[in-house]
Structure 1
Amino acid sequence: MECWGNGGTETYVAGLVRLLAAQNFEVTLALLNNGDEDAVDFLPRNRIRVIGLAGLPKALRQQRPDVVSLHLYAHLLPAMLVCRALRYPTVTTLHMPLESWGLRHRLYWRLAIRLSSTVIGVSKQVLNPLKGRNIWPSAIPGGVDPLFFTCPRDKQRPTAEAFTLIAMGRLAAEKDWATLIEAVARLPLPLRQRTAIEFYGSGILQNELDSLAKRCGVQTAFHGHAGKDQLVQALSTADLFVLPSRFEGLGLAALEAMAAGVPTITADFAAARGYIEQGVTGHRFPVGDATGLARWIEWHMTHPEASIAIGLKGREFVRQHFSEEKAYRPYLEIFKQVAN
C-alpha cells in the first residue's frame, strides 16, 4: 500500500489480512510512505514495514514472499515493474474504476494490469472495463468489519425530535458533500430546522463546506477523523446515512452504515446498484441532483416506520453478502493458484 490512513482501501486490506491470519498465512504489510501505521491493530508490529518505493527491491529479497498483493494507486506501475523484475507473482486489487483517473494514470494502470499475474476488481464497475486472461471473473467487494453489525440501534421508533443525518468519508470533491448540504437546504422549513448533518472525516474542503452550510442555513458538525468505535456510537443514534459520491469503487461507508441498521441513501454510482435495491435496502438518487436527494430525505423523515424497516432490511442484506468471511474467501484460492 502507499501508506496507512483511514479510507476504504485500508478497511478492505485490514479485513483481508484478518482472514489470512485466521488461515495461518504469514502476512507482512509493506507501506511505501509514512502514515498512521500506529493505528494498525491486526498485525504484530514487526510485520508492518515502511519501506519506500526505493526500498521495495530490498524488502522483497529479504522477505521472499510467495505472492505480492498490491493495493496501490499512483505507485502501482513502478511497484509492478519491481515485482516483475524480481520474478515475484502479483495479485493486483483495483479499488477504483479506470474512468475515475486521468489519461496518463489510465495508461499506467492498463500496463500494470497486463503485467500482473491476477487482477481483482472490488466491484462490477471496476471489473467490467477490464479485459484479459489474468482478470478474475467475479468482483470481490470489501467485507464489513464485524464491529458494525454489533451496533446497538437506539432509534427503533419514530420521533418528531431532531433528525440526525450521518455522513462518513473524506471531505473531498469526489464525495460531493455540497450536494448533501444543498439537499437539506431544500427541505421544507419545519423539516430543515429539525435536521443536522454530522460529518465524520477530514479533508481540505471542510472550511468550504462549513461556509456553504452557514449560507444555506443548514446545521452541521464536523468531527474529523473518527475511529470505528466512535463511528459505531454515532451510527447507533443516527436517523439516516447519505453517501452522495460522484463515483466509488464500492462505497464501503454505505455498507458499514447499512450493517449498523441505519437507513441509507446513496448517489446512483454504479457500485451502489449492487447493494441498494431501490425502496427495499435503501434509496438511490441521480448523481449531483440535490432536489432528488431532498425528496428522499423528506420521505425518510415523513415515513419513519418504513424508513426503519428499510434500515433493517439493509442490515440483513449486508450480513448475508458482505461479511468479511464471505467477501474475502476467494483470495485464498487466488493466492494458492498464483503461488503455484
Structure 2
Amino acid sequence: FILDQIAGLIDLGHEVHIFAVPPKQEADHHPEIQRLDLMKRTTYHPRPMASKGLRRGQAVWHVLRTFPHAPLGTMRLVARQVARPREFDYPRFLLWLSVLRGRFDVIHCHFGPNGLLMLPLKQAWPRAPLVTTFHGYDIRMALRDDMRMYDPLFRQADLLMANSQYTRGVLNELGAPTGKVCVHPPGVDLDYYRPAGRSPHDDPSRPLYLVTVGRLVEEKGLQHGLRAVARFRERCPDCRFRYDIVGSGPQESLLRSMIEELALSAHVSLRGYMTRPQVLATLQEADIFLLPSIAEGLGVVLLEAQAVGVPIVASNVQGIPHAVDPGRSAFLAPAADAEAWAEALRRLAQDAPLRERMGRAGREFVRRHYDLQALNRRLVQTYRELTTRKGASPLSKSFVNGRRSDADHREEGTRT
C-alpha cells in the first residue's frame, strides 16, 4: 500500500525518492516498480565500511558530497555527531546526509520508528516538514514496551498521520498533540482490485470457498479462526467448503498441528506466501473472507477483499470496524467467540443472494472512503498546506480531521 501511494504521487506529477533498508532476499516486484522504474528512485541505507579508518573516510566523503547542496544542514549534522562521539552511529549519519542531499520539500516516514530515526535530520533541515504515518505495529510497540518512546517525535514532527480513527485515538492517549494528528488511511486501486464477474449463483455445486490472507503471527488470531471454522462445520454439516490461509510466518507449525487436532485437514490448507497477482486471483475466487485478528490497526486486506466484492467475517477489534461497513459489507464478532463466528459463516454459506448484496456494498464502501486516487490527491493537499504554513500557526480543522476536498494539484510538483 505504500508503493501504491508512491506511484499515485508520481502519477500526479510529483517527484518521489525512496529511502529503504536493503532487502534480505530477492522479492517479487510490485508491478508499479517496473512501470515507474522505481529502483532508480530508491536509495538503500548506506552500509559503513568494515574498519574504523575506512568508516571515517567514508563519512568525510559523504560530508563533502552533501555540503554544496545544503551547507548549513551539513554543518549542523557534523556538529551534532562531534558533540556525541560515543554515540556516533555511522549508518544513521550516512543516511541523514543522503537524505539531506535531496533538499526535499517533505520528508514522509512510514511507521513510528522511522520517524524517530529522521528527527536529527529534521533539526538539521527544518525547512522540510516531517510527516510520520503510524500503521499499527508501531503503536503496539509503544503500548507494550515504552509509552513515552515517541515523545520526541510528537514534539518535533510537523504532522502525525494515523491509518484509522482507532490509531488516532491511541496516538492521542500516548501523548500526541490533538492538533498534530490526522487520519489518512491507505487506499485501494479500484481498477486493479475488481470483481471477476462471477456470481455466487453460477455453480451451486461448487464448494464454498473461505479465504484468509495475512502473516501467520499471533496478532492475526488464526487459532480462533480455525476453532470457528470447526464449529461452523458442526453447525452446517451439509455445507461443502474449503478454507485457504494465505501467508507465511512463525506460527505455521502451530497452525498445522491445530488443523490436525480439529480434524480439518480435508477442508483447510496453508497456502504459504503468494505474489500480489496470486492474492488478487484468490480473492476473486473467494466466497467469504475471514480475518480473526486480535489486534489490527486497520486491515488493508479487508479493503482489498471488499473492493473485489467479497463479504467479510472479521473480529470486532481496534481499527477493523473502520475498515468495513458493519452489517452491510461485513459481519463482526468477538475474536474468540467461536459460536458467533460459526453463526455468521452459516448465515452467509446458506444465503448466496446475501453474499452478493454484501459484496456489492463492500465495493461501494471502499469506493466512497478508500479510493486510492482520491486519497493521493488529498495527500498532495496535505503536503501543500504543510509547506505553505507560516511559523507555528495551527493546521486547519478540516485538515486535521482529514476531510479536505479532492482537487488535483498537478501543476506544481513537490519533492518527497
SS of the equivalent of 1:128 reads helix
- Counterpart residue number, 2:29: 39
Correspondent of 1:127 among 168, 184, 191: 168
1:115 aligns with 2:145: no
- Counterpart residue number, 1:144: 188
- Counterpart residue number, 2:98: 59
Deviates more, 1:209-218 or 1:327-336: 327-336
Correspondent of 1:297 among 331, 334, 345: 345
Pairwise mapping of residues 26-105 of structure 1 onto structure 2 (< 5 A)? 26-35=15-24, 39-40=29-30, 41-42=32-33, 43-44=36-37, 45-51=39-45, 54=92, 55-87=94-126, 88-96=128-136, 100-101=140-141, 102-105=143-146
- Counterpart residue number, 2:223: 178
Amino acid corresponding to residue 213 of structure 1 in structure 2: I
Distance 2:339 2:346 in 1: 11
Deviation at 1:108, TM superposition (A): 1.6
Amino acid corresponding to residue 195 of structure 1 in structure 2: F
* Native 8 Å contact 1:92 1:113 kept in 2: no
**Unaligned regions of 5+ residues in structure 1, if any?**
1-10
Deviation at 1:103, TM superposition (A): 4.5
- Counterpart residue number, 1:198: 244
- Counterpart residue number, 1:3: none
* Native 8 Å contact 1:199 1:221 kept in 2: yes
1:51-91 alpha-carbon deviations (Å, 9 max, x no partner): 15523212112212111100024443233233334434201
Amino acid corresponding to residue 197 of structure 1 in structure 2: Y
1:137-163 alpha-carbon deviations (Å, 9 max, x no partner): 4x1111112354333042431725412
Question: What is the RMSD computed on CA atoms of the aligned residues?
Answer: 2.3
Deviation at 1:37, TM superposition (A): 6.5
* Native 8 Å contact 1:258 1:311 kept in 2: yes
Distance 1:320 1:89 in 2: 29
- Mark the CA change 1:80 to 1:322 in structure 2 (over 3 Å): closer, same or farther: same
* Native 8 Å contact 2:200 2:352 kept in 1: no
Give the TM-score, by structure 1 length: 0.88
- Mark the CA change 1:60 to 1:98 in structure 2 (over 3 Å): closer, same or farther: closer
- Mark the CA change 1:99 to 1:58 in structure 2 (over 3 Å): closer, same or farther: closer
- Counterpart residue number, 1:4: none
Distance 1:23 1:278 in 2: 33
1:106 aligns with 2:147: yes
Give the TM-score, by structure 2 length: 0.73
Deviation at 1:97, TM superposition (A): 7.2
Distance 1:133 1:301 in 2: 44
- Mark the CA change 1:264 to 1:107 in structure 2 (over 3 Å): closer, same or farther: same
SS of the equivalent of 1:312 reads helix
1:216 aligns with 2:205: no
Deviation at 1:306, TM superposition (A): 1.1
- Mark the CA change 1:75 to 1:119 in structure 2 (over 3 Å): closer, same or farther: closer
SS of the equivalent of 2:297 reads coil
**Unaligned regions of 5+ residues in structure 2, if any?**
47-90, 389-416
Correspondent of 1:274 among 322, 336, 348: 322
Deviates more, 1:95-104 or 1:69-78: 95-104
Percent of residue pairs identical: 23
Distance 2:28 2:156 in 1: 33
Deviation at 1:29, TM superposition (A): 1.0
- Counterpart residue number, 1:8: none
Deviation at 1:264, TM superposition (A): 0.8
Deviation at 1:286, TM superposition (A): 1.0
1:150-191 alpha-carbon deviations (Å, 9 max, x no partner): 330424317254121110111111001111111011124454
1:283 aligns with 2:331: yes
Deviation at 1:260, TM superposition (A): 0.3
Deviation at 1:32, TM superposition (A): 3.0
Distance 2:232 2:144 in 1: 39
Amino acid corresponding to residue 200 of structure 2 in structure 1: Q
Distance 2:110 2:27 in 1: 16
1:251 aligns with 2:299: yes
- Counterpart residue number, 2:83: none
Distance 1:192 1:63 in 2: 63
SS of the equivalent of 1:150 reads coil
